[in-house]
Structure 1
Amino acid sequence: MADPSRIVADAEALLQRVSPEGRRLAARARQRRFTARMKTARRLAAAMAAVIAVAILWGLLVGPIGQFGFLAALVAMAVAWVAILLLSRTPAETPQTLAQSDLPLLPQRTEAWLQDQRAALPAPAARLVDGIGVRLEALAPQLVALDAREPVAAEVRKLLSIELPELIEGYRRVPTALRGGARDGPPPDRQLADGLGVVDEQLARISADLAAGDLQKLATQGRYLELKYGGEEPG
């Protein structure tokens, strides 16, 4: 018979993992999957329509396609569908793909990679991962116009594609039985949570610095326009 206290403990751990940020990120992930499926469905429909259109044009311009033509149309449709389904598959993110990602796409791809790791993390770390995901969501539009040669761009890339993956993969290499216990220092669970907290703080600082730079540019541009046009009298 199952231990009631164990059941309660498992339920509490599950509730701890389902943070508001986690639900928000899960909803975004579901929306991305739905959008991807709809895009694939449209491509499949377009391929079917193209094959049917070719068959109809052949029948109008050349002659009846016959049984052989009908079978050829079916084969062409099947080949097109298989190709579309294979090309539409989104491979799982890895630290290697993160390192090769374009900077504007790096936050979203890092978020996807983090969600794949989330189930293997303890509840406190999972909640921190959710918070980092929200930080990445806010950071993404700030990186769109950022010059990849800027020092902050290199900092973001190193943090997201090297340091963060090394932290989580290092934790996952520790045997499960040793993750919660301390030997010569803090237990691995604590070290992981502390490291994720530092990542969260760094992302918040980077986002704030980029926002401050944008505000400064806006103020400078506003002052420039004021000086240039503010003293002109209407004609």
Structure 2
Amino acid sequence: MTDVSNKVEQALARFDRVTRALDERDGAPREAARRERQRLNGDLKRRAARIGIVLLVVSMVTILIGIVMPIGMFGFLAALTLAVGAAIALAFTPTRPAATAPSADLANGQMVQRFDSYLYRTRGVLPAPARAQIDAISAELPSLKQTLERIDTHDPKAQDARRLMSMHLPGLIDRYLNVPAGYRKEADGEGLTVDERLVDGLSAARTALCEISEDLARGDMAAFETQGRFIKSRYGAQTIDQ
């Protein structure tokens, strides 16, 4: 019976991996993966630029020292070793910690990007119903980023979104991951399991972000309508003399 149970569990695990891979081929997961690749490519470009600057500085210092006094073969090898060591250190030093919630001091647009990356990196360790909620949240982030980038950090709506992205939702996910897997199916005082509580919290967060994004968008629409009415009332009745 033990062998049969193990085989069943292995088959279910393989099925879960296959369905997860199929799920990530289309829709919000694919878009989230594309945005994450763009962020990683940007990080690689910045890393390469820093390496180039270090190599240039070491080369210039070596040349200047060589003009003043001969450095010889050992001096050249020392400079080469220093340059290679610095390049390796910059190349392999992590600049973006994995699955880290955005810090509270980021600008609005940067916070949305970091939050998007956080969701993408934690998605794979969450149960399927929670991944569906994560995907729904991720799908809203591009438009939310576009709106938040144009408003002040201290705007009340921006503050609500920032608290949700930097504190409340990451705190929910982190606390879920702290619960041992064997206890996640146990019901709490309200009859919800840990998995169900996670999905419920993610759903509430998605609704809140959607409402914030919608309120900000409607504010922009109202401002546009007001500007259009003003232009029409100010210039619409006038004719241009030929």
TM-score (norm 1): 0.82
Shift of 1:38: 3.0
Query: Is residue 2:225 matched to residue 1:222?
Result: no
Q: Residue 73 of structure 1 corresponds to which residue in structure 2?
A: 79
Structure 2 vs 1, CA of residues 179 and 94 (structure 1 numbering), >3 Å: closer, same or farther? Answer: same
Query: Structure 1 residues 173 and 83, CA, compared in 2 at 3 Å: closer, same or farther?
Result: closer
Q: Compute the displacement of 1:48 (Å).
A: 2.4
Q: What corresponds to 1:23 in structure 2?
A: 30
Which amino acid in structure 1 is aligned with residue 165 of structure 2?
Answer: L
Which residue identity is paired with 2:120?
Q
Q: Measure how far apart 1:112 and its partner are.
A: 1.9
- Between Structure 1 and Structure 2, how many residues are aligned? 233
Instruction: Say whether residues 1:187 and 2:193 are aligned partners.
Output: yes
- Identify the match of residue 137 of structure 2 among 118, 132, 143: 132
For residues 39 and 158 of structure 1, the distance between their equivalents in structure 2, rounded to whole angstroms, comes to 29
Determine if the alignment matches structure 1 residue 42 to structure 2 residue 49.
Answer: yes
Moved more, 221-230 or 77-86: 77-86
166-175 or 147-156, larger mean C-alpha shift = 166-175
Whole-angstrom CA distance in 2 between matches of 1:109 and 1:115: 10
Contact 1:167 1:195 in 2 (8 A): yes
Matched, 1:33 2:40: yes
Q: 1:63 and 1:166 mapped to 2: Cα distance?
A: 59
Larger deviation, residues 109-118 vs 42-51: 42-51
* 1:135-159 residue CA offsets vs partner (Å, 9 max, x unmatched): 2232112111112222101111221
Offset of 1:65 from its aligned partner?
4.5
1:146 paired to 2:151: yes
In 2, the alpha carbon distance for the partners of 1:213 and 1:7 equals 52
Contact 2:169 2:205 in 1 (8 A): yes
Letter in 2 for 1:74: L
Aligned to 1:14: 17
1:104 and 1:143 in contact (8 A); partners too: yes
Return closer, same or farther for 1:98/1:15 CA change in 2, 3 Å cut-off. farther
Q: Which of the pair has the greater relative contact order for Cα pairs under 8 Å at 6+ separation?
A: 1
Question: Is the Cα–Cα contact under 8 Å of residues 104 and 166 in structure 2 kept in the other structure?
Answer: yes
Does the aligned pair in 1 maintain the 2:152–2:158 contact within 8 Å? Answer: yes
Over the aligned positions, Cα root-mean-square deviation in angstroms equals 2.9
The secondary structure found in structure 1 opposite 2:186 is coil
Give CA-to-partner distance per residue, 1:14-55, whole Å, 9 cap, x none: 344334322321232233223322332233234324433554
Equivalent residues of 1:159, 1:199 under 8 A apart: yes
Measured against aligned partners, the alpha-carbon deviations of 1:58-94 in whole angstroms (never above 9, x if no partner) come to 66x6575432541343244246425644776223454
1:205 to 195, 200, 211: 211
5+ residue gaps in structure 2? none
Residue 102 of structure 1, aligned match among 107, 112, 132: 107
TM-score (norm 2): 0.80
